Amino acid sequence: MPSIATKASGNNGEIKQQQKELVCVTGAGGFIGSWVVKELLLRGYRVRGTARDPADRKNAHLLALEGAEARLTLCRADVLDYDGLRAAFAGCHGVFHVASPVSNDPDLAPVAVEGTRNVINAAADAGVRRVVFTSSYGAVHMDPKRSPDAVLDESCWSDYEFCKQTGNLYCCAKMMAEITATEEAARRGLELAVVVPSMTMGPMLQQQLNFSSGHVARYLTGAKAAYPDAVAAYVDVRDVARAHVLAYERAAAANGQRFLCIGAVLHRASFLQLLKELFPQFPVTAKCQVDGEPMAKPYRFSNQRLKDLGLEFTPLRESLYETVMSLQQYGHLPQLPAPVAPKRAYL
């Protein structure tokens, strides 16, 4: 598999120009945020990352990234603190608003909306030109009225009332935050692109367990007794990071656009079968919660808009393999004998 450094290469003129440009990443220490920082450093950007506590050792992995010593600084900022954000964005050409907790806490939506409003307005007041906002496919695919023959794309939105009634409050929060980002950016004259990633797989840079990696670990060890009759969309975290930077660099074409960042859609049973094939030494969850009933069918989707920007999606098989290797590296899974790395395939 090509390294991300190879994928990130551009013409020399672009790289030389980018070395002079300062950008800020909110939530820099998180799963996606860390990879966005890494991708930006590999492309020659000067990066400022925000964290609630920059001195916390959980952010140490950022300072160890290639290029970090010369071109990365961490600063204290919280999305609910406008003044802190304004100071963090001072002198920046662009902002990547990645920071967002993953939970179904009823208080999440107000925090996500107010935090996003603060980010957009602080960016505008600091003279920032471009913002890339990290949404979620939870804001896109949750619509029971959508035809099974429809193709999920950037025009789709989740049904807010359905999400609320079914307790999917994270989806509600991401929908409201994305709408807020779009409206505030238009009001303040900022260039905005929105990246909409699905369930994100791949190696961790941070040591702390994140939601999606924990999801894999629970199924791999059999900690979850059964899996649901459900379909989900998956994407590699390195592809998500590249999508953010591609959308930023193509701002003239990307302004105001959403970019659906999905690499594969499959039933949970197929997802677990991939895990079992890759790691037969683990007791992967094998029982479905509704055995004997017709299974949900994967839906069709389009990621053409990101492909048009030059993104090549990583096969899920590779993402899963590297997810588990990473979980073992950081002690979240036992160090059982490693299987042979998978060859490139569609999944």
User: Catalytic residue positions?
Assistant: 174
135 in Cβ contact with 102 (< 8 Å): no
Burial class (CB in 10 A: 0-12, 13-18, 19+), 266: middle
Name the token pair of 102.
């993953």
CA distance 305 to 301: 11
b/e per residue, 75-114, with b = 16+ CB within 10 A? bebbbebbebbbebbbebbbbbbbbbebeeeeebbebbbe
CA dihedral 283, 318, 204, 254 (to 10 degrees): -140
Name the token pair of 201.
């797989």
HSE-CB at 187 with a 13 A cutoff on CA atoms is: 11
Report helix, strand or coil for 321: helix
178 in Cβ contact with 135 (< 8 Å): yes
Name the token pair of 307.
């492909």
